[in-house]
Structure 1
Amino acid sequence: MYYNLLTDILGLVRMYEQEMDKERPDVYDFSRWLHQYTARQGHMATDEPEWEGKANGRSADSVINTSLVHLYRYAKLQAKAAIADTEFSTPDDFIYLISLVAFGSMTKTALIRLNVHEKSAGMQIVKRLIDNGLVEQTANDIDKRNRMLHITAKGTRLLNESMENIRQASRNVTEPLTSEEKMELIKLLTKLEKFHEQRTRGDG
């Protein structure tokens, strides 16, 4: 029996070597590959969790939707605590500034769409940032009617002063998860977000 098992393992190691083509393979990398391989082969056993109301017919979709709403509220509470005693009025203020830093200058429409806001709500946030001197707008060289938004020196300073508190707020939300669990959650959330983003654009 053990001989057959060893033969199977050697065969898997050979497949791993051919697929990965690594100069210095290690057992941890092989274990990750084996996890992915068994999932591709349909052999991954997933224990179905228990949840409140399951016995009464509450669906997994309902649980996921409720959890996402609750997590959004927990994250918002953490974000509000992070910007206490700063010039930021709401967490959306620093999220918009972070977007401009991460993705560069963009139009109002692009910034609002990036943060998945309705136009009226997004315009209020942009106006507040401009009025507070955290964002400025300039004419677009290509289309003069489309003005570009840029983070100001004041906005950059305020964001930098608040970043450690903001990072800590983010860590507080994901605190109980291991690094591996975070990576898996990112994959699942990215899959969901891309699906809804494409569907929304398709509907538009």
Structure 2
Amino acid sequence: MSEQTKLIKELLDYVEEYEKEGKQGGIKAFSIFLRGKVMEPEAPREPEKTFDQQDFRNFKTYPEVEFSTLLTGLYRFAKHYLKKAFTQTAFKTIDEFGFLATLLRDHSLLKNELINEHLLEMSSGSEIIKRLVKNGLIYEYPDEHDRRAKRVSLTVKGQREVFMAFNDMHKVSEIIIGDLKKHELMEALAIFNKLTFFHQHIHQRDKHTDIETLHEKYVNHGA
């Protein structure tokens, strides 16, 4: 058996394992899975500390709790910088900017497609669309295949506002990554991509499932 054939066979074994775990997401998601299997062999597992809610003062002794706390804090820092970036724009939130940037890329989307793209509840997403329409940044029109459905696209003003915001948004991105070295940034991206695909899988399959069932299915069962 040639080296190329061995490599293909080994790769197919990983593809089979990937499918058995019920994972989805295309080549990027598979590459993250493969990286975890090949480049990051499991270290010997240390006994995990059992969670005790009475030990709330020592939350840093639970890495999963500290991770969630730090992630929430980073999001709040990001919101603070974004607020500064939006002072000269016709929109005021990252969700509004996200809607506009998505329409700049895709040109036209059904309203529910745009809302789902940003993982928002339909009511919250509809309010954002109303504000953007009111401010003259997007416009609605009937879908040619289903006249009951509404599509949205950018207005000329909306396009102008998005392009005007790009430079400041890039500055915010550079501030957010702080003093991370290039290799640290790439490692962080690998971790966040892995987490994103994990949660996209839950969102697509178990969006309305209660927290106890989610924990049992994706944490206990996957441990």
Name the TM-score, length of structure 2 as normaliser: 0.65
Q: Does 1:127 align with 2:130?
A: yes
Residue 86 of structure 1: aligned partner: 89
- Count matched residues: 165
Q: Secondary structure at the match of 1:149?
A: strand
RMSD of aligned Cα (Å): 2.9
CA contact (8 A) 1:136 1:150 kept: yes
Give deviations 1:52-72, integer Å, cap 9, x for gaps.
x99777321111111111111
Unaligned residue ranges in structure 1 (runs of 5+): 1-14, 20-35, 46-52
Note the C-alpha offset of 1:103. Answer: 3.4
Q: Does 1:145 align with 2:141?
A: no
Residue 163 of structure 1: aligned partner: 166
Highest CA radius of gyration, 1 or 2?
A: 1
Moved runs in structure 1, 4+ residues, more than 6 A?
A: 53-57
Residue 111 of structure 2: aligned partner: 108
Residue 23 of structure 1: aligned partner: none
Q: Secondary structure at the match of 2:91?
A: coil
Residue 182 of structure 2: aligned partner: 179
Name the TM-score, length of structure 1 as normaliser: 0.70
CA contact (8 A) 2:82 2:169 kept: yes
AA of the residue aligned to 2:113: A
Give deviations 1:88-114, integer Å, cap 9, x for gaps.
132321121112123342112111111
Q: Secondary structure at the match of 1:192?
A: helix
- Matched residues in 2 for 1:180 and 1:41: separation? 16
CA contact (8 A) 2:59 2:65 kept: no
Residue 204 of structure 2: aligned partner: 201
Q: Secondary structure at the match of 1:144?
A: coil
- Matched residues in 1 for 2:68 and 2:59: separation? 17
Q: Secondary structure at the match of 1:69?
A: helix
Residue 98 of structure 2: aligned partner: 95
1:50-65 matches, cutoff 5 A: 58-65=61-68
- Matched residues in 1 for 2:76 and 2:40: separation? 38
- Matched residues in 2 for 1:77 and 1:167: separation? 15
Q: Percent identity?
A: 28
CA contact (8 A) 1:38 1:44 kept: no
Q: Secondary structure at the match of 1:136?
A: strand
